């Protein structure tokens, strides 16, 4: 875990100085129209459309970073501490104004030099918005998009199921865009999805006068399709659509064994955002798994274009190339971040490439024009027999030979957490033996399967940073085991069913995956324990029908079915003996799945610590020129083990930023700090506590020649306190 010793080459650990300088110049010239100027601003989420999180600013460097101070803070005063609200936004800065979002998805315009508010747009105050149902379910937001043409300057961003166009100067909706300033993302998907969850957590990306958008959809059998769309920036009219679940006659259709799957199956969505090569006119989209995440018996085949890096013509949406990193995914291994568009030295010459980190700890490095791997990728045999009836797994999966994995990829008994007290160690050892394990691709089972790296990475949505001068890709990673167990679900309704049995059956079908077998909650889904103190049968039924915040509306169920779920959750014994009379709303067989999961569960000790030895979170420097790991360090501190002198790392969310000043900035950790590291060695140079954990990527920019580092401090994840503050740092 020790960083490499510094080399004499000031730019790269493995290249001659002349090659490093040439590569750095080539990369900087190729990106965003050429020159360093593109990297001195932060007008796009991720810094530039290449999504490399790089800043050419040098005012703050390795010699003075220790002098950074808080120069302003801004609070939106809308944190929801009860429901663990968050801010995951990487803000943008245009003409000295910072644009970001609040925990309640308000759009903020802030003076980037002083932190003073210019204006605030609250989408929940817009007349005509459906605040009680599917159209305004609050979700997280990771960034906004800017477009201008002469005096027309707009911010485009998603809140709930709407895409809004907002005047950048005034904060008022642009009434000529869509329906009085907004477009409903339910429209234009080619299927009736009005009662399904369709939203966006990541910003779109601009190509000429097009806003290219992905979406977030349900991960269950009720998922809408995750097709990629482009909208006219001026009018909001949909200009093109790429079917991530191909239709007859389209490329990839043959990869689905059932020729009608495209009518029923959802997911395969580009929820993690995009990168874009303006010069080539190519947009690069990472896609997630097809629904349902953990059982594919209704979607047999390789399932293109799920789990793919997609290269599309940005002007038309036409397919150029694709690479599928997992075939027939049943492990929830969505691509978690947009790829980084990089230029690397390969076979002695600079090559434009696409670098895609994954939840599994791999980096796939592909030629940008063709999608051909720069290093060999092997299709290796993997476990291909499932105990779940109807499942048909892929016999092989792709393994890149280089770059080397940036996380551990196996979890054996020897890796169990031996820092725990004996009784806790014995407990996790016993539980471990009861789970299926041993491979990245051990299939889901009824007994429970170890998923490692876990459902949240390896790499996660914060994305990597890339240093053009050295060829180093910096990736923060989670190393958290999860234990996912399957359970049989009744797909037929028994005659003479009681409210109790109906409620239990429907809870397993619709609620258990998020809230657990006993309503204990997991991941970011709340516990249901004590819910009877807040709700009656009537109010909980209304919630199930209407939806709220992150919870979708169960409009595919009848009012009586929702009432049965409510009576089961609230344990209303007086109602549970009532006969269940109404016939269920018809659900097609693709959605009426025979299996679900018992909940999203991390494999933890009784004390709440990961069952695996540290590190639980890492920061990694991957040399894309050679494929080697340049350095790796734990990221984050647990206070209990820190007292014992052990740096464990913590789970982390939000990415790094690398600068020409020799620095790597990152917040992301559960311990609520922002840190700066020497980008060559991984040595910690500076850290500062935040008012709430910064589960977001920082932005680095300059105003009037002064360099700032800003991070959103929203907390809320991992049981941490919620916040609503942006904090800016600069030299005194």
pLDDT value at 5 more than 90: no
Over residues 326-346, the mean pLDDT reads 98
Band of pLDDT at residue 10, cut at 50, 70 and 90: very low
Q: What is the DSSP string of 173-241?
A: B-TTTBTTTEEETTTTSSS--TTS-EE-SS--EEETTEEEE--EE-SSTTPPB--EEEEETTT--EEEE
Q: Which of 461, 28, 460 is nearest to 203 (CA)?
A: 461
What are the residues whose beta carbons fall under 8 Å from the beta carbon of 726, sequence distance 6 or more? Answer: 73, 74, 75, 87, 91, 98, 100, 110, 115, 710, 711, 712, 713
Q: What is the pLDDT of residue 24?
A: 59
Residue 135's SS3 state is helix
DSSP 8-state symbol, 326? S
274 touches 287 (CB < 8 A): no
Q: Could you give the CA distance from residue 44 to residue 110 in angstroms, rounded to a whole number? A: 16
Over residues 144-169, the mean pLDDT reads: 97
Cα–Cα–Cα angle for 139, 212, 327, nearest 5°?
80
With CA atoms as reference, report the closest residue to 338 among 283, 281, 289.
283
- Of 245-249, 328-332, 575-579, minimum mean pLDDT range: 575-579
Tens-digit pLDDT profile for residues 583-620: 655 556 787 899 999 999 999 999 999 999 999 999 99
Distances in whole angstroms, Cα of residue 427 to Cα of each of 133, 266, 445, 452, 598: 43, 39, 21, 19, 20
Q: How far apart are CA 159 and CA 91, in angstroms?
A: 15
655 with 550, same domain? Answer: no
**pLDDT of the residue at 11:** 32
DSSP label of 242: E
Distance CA(461)–CA(668), nearest Å, equals: 11
Residues 571 and 687 in one domain: no
Say if residues 49 and 281 touch (Cβ distance below 8 Å): no
Residue 187 within any structural domain of the chain: yes
Burial of 681-708, coded b for 16+ CB within 10 Å and e otherwise, reads bbeebbbbebbbbbbbbbbbbbbeeebb
276 and 127 share a domain? Answer: yes
Closest CA to 346 of 367, 315, 322, 325: 367
**pLDDT tens digits, one per residue of 597-606:** 999 999 999 9
Average predicted confidence (pLDDT) for the chain:
91
Strand intervals (E) in 460-548: 465-467, 472-478, 482-484, 486-488
The lowest-confidence range among 157-161, 561-565, 617-621 is 561-565
Ranking 46-50, 570-574, 702-706 by mean pLDDT, the lowest is 570-574
| Neighbouring C-beta atoms of residue 718, cutoff 10 Å | 15
* pTM (2 d.p.): 0.92
571 vs 532: CA distance, rounded Å: 8
Q: How far is residue 28's CA from residue 470's CA, in Å, rounded to a whole number?
A: 12
**Angstrom distance (rounded) from CA 272 to CA 288:** 9
55 found inside a domain = yes
pLDDT for residue 582: 63
The predicted structure's pLDDT at residue 74: 98
- The residue among 279 and 83 whose pLDDT is bigger is 279
Q: Dihedrals φ, ψ of 275, to 5°?
A: -125, 160
Q: Beta strands of 532-672 (E only): which ranges? A: 595-597, 617-623, 629-634, 657-659, 663-666
Query: Could you tell me which residue, 218 or 130, shows the higher pLDDT?
Result: 218
Total domains in the chain come to 2
Q: Which residues contact 95 (CB under 8 A, 6 or more apart)?
A: none
Q: Give the CATH number of the domain where residue 550 resides.
A: 1.10.760.10
Residue 510 DSSP one-character state: H
Residue 474 CB contacts under 8 Å (≥ 6 apart), including other chains:
464, 465, 466, 467, 619, 620, 621, 622, 656, 658, 664, 679
pLDDT over 90, % of the chain: 77
Average pLDDT over residues 568-573: 82
115-133 core/surface letters (b: 16 or more CB in 10 A; e: else)? beeebebebeebeebeeeb
Mean predicted confidence (pLDDT) in 129-135? 48
Is pLDDT at 216 greater than 60 in this prediction? Answer: yes
Interior angle at CA 264, CA 260 and CA 267, nearest 5:
120
d(C-alpha 20, C-alpha 14), whole Å: 9
Residue 451 CA to residue 211 CA, distance in Å, equals: 36
In a shared domain, residues 663 and 573? no
Structure confidence at residue 129 (pLDDT): 54
Tens-digit pLDDT profile for residues 719-731: 999 999 999 999 9
Find out whether 584 and 564 touch, Cβ atoms under 8 Å.
no
Query: Whose CA is closest to 218, among 162, 164, 159, 288?
Result: 288
Do 198 and 316 sit in the same domain of this protein?
yes
pLDDT class of 552 with cuts at 50, 70, 90: low
CB burial readout 543-560, b (16+ within 10 A) else e: bbbbbbebbbbbbbbeeb
DSSP conformation letters of 650-684: --B-S--EEETTSEEEE--BTT-EEEEEETTT--E
Output phi, psi for 659, to 5 deg.
Answer: -125, 160
Cβ contact 654:696 at 8 Å? yes
Whether residues 667 and 519 share a domain: the answer is: no
> In the numeric block, which tokens belong to residue 429?
């050892």
Residue 639 resides in a domain: yes
Residue 532, classed as helix, strand or coil, is helix
The reply to whether 466 falls in a domain is: yes
Q: Which domain holds residue 560?
A: 490-592
Q: Which of 97-106, 591-600, 656-665 has the lowest mean pLDDT?
A: 591-600
Strand duo 657-659 + 54-55: pairing: parallel
Regarding whether 499 and 466 lie in a shared domain, the answer is no
Two structure tokens written together for 300: 């047999």
Q: Which residues pair with 313 in a beta bridge?
A: 282
Same domain, 307 and 372: yes
pLDDT, one tens digit per residue, over 14-72 is 444 445 555 555 556 555 444 567 899 999 999 999 999 999 999 999 999 999 999 99
CA dihedral 17, 19, 24, 25 (to 10 degrees): 110
**Longest C-alpha distance within the chain, in Å?**
81
DSSP line for 410-467: ---GGGB-TTS-HHHHHHHHHHHHTSB-SSTTPPPBSS-EEESSBTTBSS-TT--EEE
Helix axes 499-510, 559-570, angle to 10 degrees: 90
**What pLDDT is attached to residue 231?**
99
Is 210 found in the same domain as 81?
yes
What contacts 11, CB < 8 A, 6 or more positions away?
17, 20, 21, 24, 469, 470
CATH classification at residue 144: 2.140.10.10
Identify the weakest region by mean pLDDT among 137-146, 187-196, 348-357, 431-440: 137-146
Q: Is the pLDDT of residue 233 over 80?
A: yes
520-547 average pLDDT score = 78
Report how far apart, in Å, the C-alpha atoms of 542 and of each of 152, 311, 413, 546, 552 are: 43, 43, 47, 6, 12
Q: Is residue 437 part of a domain?
A: no
Residue 8 clears pLDDT 60, i.e. is over it: no
Q: For residue 319, tell me if it sits in a domain.
A: yes
Regarding whether 239 and 277 lie in a shared domain, the answer is: yes
pLDDT band at 570 (very low <50, low <70, confident <90, very high): confident
Q: Are residues 206 and 238 in the same domain?
A: yes
**687 in a structural domain:** yes
Q: Specify the 3-state DSSP secondary structure of 5.
A: coil
- pLDDT score of 449 more than 80: yes
Query: In angstroms, rounded to a whole number, what is the distance separating the alpha carbons of residues 471 and 457?
Result: 23
Asked whether residue 720 is domain-assigned, the answer is: yes
Terminal-residue alpha carbon distance, the chain: 34
Residues paired with residue 283 on neighbouring β-strands, in sequence order: 276, 312
Q: pLDDT value at position 637? A: 98
Top mean pLDDT of 505-514, 564-573, 592-601, 667-676 is at 667-676
The verdict on 619 and 573 lying in the same domain is no
């Amino acid at each position: 875990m020790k960083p490499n010793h510094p080399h004499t080459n000031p730019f790269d650990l493995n290249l001659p100085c002349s090659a490093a300088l040439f590569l750095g110049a080539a990369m900087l010239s190729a990106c965003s129209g050429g020159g360093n100027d593109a990297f001195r601003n932060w007008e796009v989420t991720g810094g530039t459309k290449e999504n490399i999180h790089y800043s050419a600013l040098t005012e703050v460097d390795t010699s003075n970073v220790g002098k950074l101070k808080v120069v302003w803070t801004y609070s939106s005063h809308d944190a929801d501490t009860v429901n663990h609200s968050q801010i995951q936004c990487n803000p943008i800065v245009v003409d000295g104004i910072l644009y970001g979002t609040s925990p309640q998805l308000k759009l903020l315009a802030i003076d980037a030099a002083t932190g003073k508010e210019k204006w605030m747009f609250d989408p929940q105050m817009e007349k005509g918005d459906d605040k009680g149902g599917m159209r305004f379910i609050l979700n997280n937001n990771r960034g906004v998009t800017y477009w201008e043409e002469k005096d027309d300057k707009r911010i485009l961003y998603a809140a709930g199921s709407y895409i809004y166009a907002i005047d950048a100067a005034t904060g008022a909706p642009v009434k000529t865009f869509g329906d009085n300033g907004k477009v409903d993302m339910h429209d234009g998907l080619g299927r009736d999805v009005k009662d399904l969850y369709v939203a966006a957590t990541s910003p779109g990306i601009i190509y000429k006068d097009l806003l290219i958008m992905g979406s977030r959809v349900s991960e269950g059998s009720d998922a809408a399709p995750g097709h990629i769309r482009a909208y006219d920036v001026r009018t909001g009219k949909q200009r093109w659509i790429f079917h991530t679940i191909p239709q007859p006659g389209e490329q990839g259709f043959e990869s689905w064994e059932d020729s009608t799957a495209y009518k029923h199956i959802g997911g395969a969505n580009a929820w993690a955002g995009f990168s874009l090569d303006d010069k080539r006119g190519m947009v690069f989209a990472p896609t997630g798994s097809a629904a349902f995440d953990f059982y594919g018996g209704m979607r047999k085949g390789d399932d293109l274009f799920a789990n793919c890096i997609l290269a599309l013509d940005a002007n038309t949406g036409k397919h150029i190339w694709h690479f599928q990193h997992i075939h027939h995914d049943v492990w929830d291994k969505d691509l978690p971040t947009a790829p980084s568009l990089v230029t690397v030295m390969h076979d002695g010459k600079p090559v434009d490439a696409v670098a895609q980190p994954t939840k599994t700890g791999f980096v796939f490095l592909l030629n940008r024009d063709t999608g051909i791997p720069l290093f060999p990728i092997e299709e290796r045999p993997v476990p291909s027999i499932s105990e779940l009836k109807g499942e048909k797994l892929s016999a092989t999966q792709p393994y890149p030979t280089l770059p080397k994995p940036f996380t551990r990829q196996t979890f054996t008994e020897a890796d169990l957490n031996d820092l725990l007290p004996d009784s806790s160690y014995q407990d996790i050892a016993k539980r471990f033996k009861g789970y299926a394990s041993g491979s990245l691709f051990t299939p889901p089972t009824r007994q429970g399967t170890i998923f490692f790296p876990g459902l949240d990475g390896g790499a996660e949505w914060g994305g990597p940073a890339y240093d053009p001068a050295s060829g180093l890709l910096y990736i923060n990673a989670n190393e958290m085991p999860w234990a996912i167990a399957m359970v049989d679900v009744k797909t037929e309704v028994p005659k003479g069913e009681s409210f109790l049995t109906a409620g239990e059956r429907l809870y397993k079908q619709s609620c258990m995956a998020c809230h657990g077998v006993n309503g204990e909650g997991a991941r970011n889904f709340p516990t249901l324990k004590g819910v009877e103190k807040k709700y009656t049968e009537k109010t909980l039924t209304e919630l199930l029908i209407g939806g709220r915040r992150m919870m979708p509306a169960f409009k595919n169920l009848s009012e009586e079915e929702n009432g049965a779920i409510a009576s089961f959750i609230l344990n209303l014994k007086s109602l549970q003996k009532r006969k269940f009379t109404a016939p269920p709303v018809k659900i097609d067989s693709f959605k009426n799945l025979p299996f679900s999961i018992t909940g999203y569960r991390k494999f933890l000790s009784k004390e709440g610590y990961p069952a695996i030895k540290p590190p639980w979170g890492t920061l990694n420097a991957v040399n894309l020129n050679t494929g080697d790991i340049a350095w790796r360090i734990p990221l984050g501190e647990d206070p209990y083990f820190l007292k014992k002198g052990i740096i464990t790392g913590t789970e982390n969310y939000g990415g790094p930023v690398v600068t020409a000043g020799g620095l790597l900035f990152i917040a992301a950790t559960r311990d609520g700090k922002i840190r700066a590291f020497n980008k060559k060695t991984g040595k910690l140079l500076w850290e500062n506590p935040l008012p709430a954990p910064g589960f977001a990527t920082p932005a680095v920019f300059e105003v009037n020649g002064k360099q700032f580092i800003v991070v959103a401090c929203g907390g809320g994840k991992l049981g941490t306190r919620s916040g609503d503050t942006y904090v800016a740092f600069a030299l005194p």
